[in-house]
């Protein structure tokens, strides 16, 4: 018979192994990305709600994002990864040429895009000295990663609208970079 005082270390070991397995499972790279609970509502007909994990599973694009705020503070450049806003609009049922896309956030912020902007057109672009430059090809994405890491809440994550380019030295205005995006709606004019 095992003396009573010896059963405790065995039990403790079993509990610790169980706890370690649980913790490592929670902190694994895929689990960590899934852990933030966030829903994106695509207000089409029918309405679609996507989780962060479902958004990460969609075809992804990458590029450089570099913005300037209204008061001239530059933010970036950083490498962003996310889903094309135009792909999400297709999932929401698509947009006609005259429709507008309302992108909004939990703090009540709203930015309205037209379909030309969905194609990356009509944005103003600037060089490092904030002098306007002809716009190179741009893409509007709903970003979830910044420089290879999930976009932090303080940076507007887990989902932030970002205008990206192929090169790191193109600056765009910060106002369309909607932070904490939770709703995308297509509406007629």
Q: Count of residues binding ligand MTE (CB under 6 A)?
A: 13
174 CB contacts (<8 Å, ≥6 apart)? Answer: 67, 68, 69, 70, 75
The residue within the footprint of ligand MTE, chosen from 64, 179, 184, 186 (CB under 6 A), is 179
Nearer to ligand MTE, 63 or 174 (CB): 174
- 167 counts as binding Mo ion under rule CB under 5 A: no
Q: What track of x and - describes contact with ligand MTE for positions 86 through 115 (by CB under 6 A)?
A: -------------------x-x-x------
Partnered with residue 101 across adjacent β-strands are 113, 186
- Are the beta carbons of 83 and 172 closer than 8 angstroms? no
Closest approach, Cβ 154 to ligand MTE, in A, equals 9
Q: Which stretch binds Mo ion (CB under 5 A): 37-45, 124-132, 134-142, 167-175?
A: 167-175
105 interface partner picked from ligand MTE, Mo ion, none, CB below 5 to 8 A per type? ligand MTE
The residue within the footprint of ligand MTE, chosen from 159, 178, 184, 186 (CB under 6 A), is 178
The stretches of the chain forming alpha helices (DSSP H) are 4-27, 29-35, 52-56, 85-91, 115-118
């Amino acid at each position: 018979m095992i003396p009573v005082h010896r059963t405790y270390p065995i039990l403790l070991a079993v509990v610790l192994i169980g706890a370690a397995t649980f913790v490592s499972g929670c902190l694994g790279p895929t689990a960590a990305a899934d852990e933030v609970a966030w829903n994106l509502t695509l207000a089409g007909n029918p309405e679609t709600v996507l989780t962060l994990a479902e958004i990460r599973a969609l075809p992804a694009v990458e590029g450089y994002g570099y913005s300037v705020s209204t008061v001239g503070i530059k933010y970036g450049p950083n490498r962003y990864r996310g889903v094309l806003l135009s792909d999400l609009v297709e999932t929401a049922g698509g947009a006609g040429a005259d429709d507008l896309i309302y992108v909004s956030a939990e703090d009540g912020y709203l930015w309205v895009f037209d379909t030309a902007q969905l194609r990356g057109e009509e944005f103003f672009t600037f060089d490092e000295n904030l002098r306007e430059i002809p716009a190179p090809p741009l893409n509007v994405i709903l970003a979830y990663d910044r420089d290879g890491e999930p976009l932090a809440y303080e940076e507007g994550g887990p989902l932030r609208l970002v205008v990206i380019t192929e090169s790191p030295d193109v600056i765009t205005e910060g106002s369309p970079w909607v932070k904490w995006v939770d709703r995308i709606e297509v509406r007629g004019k």
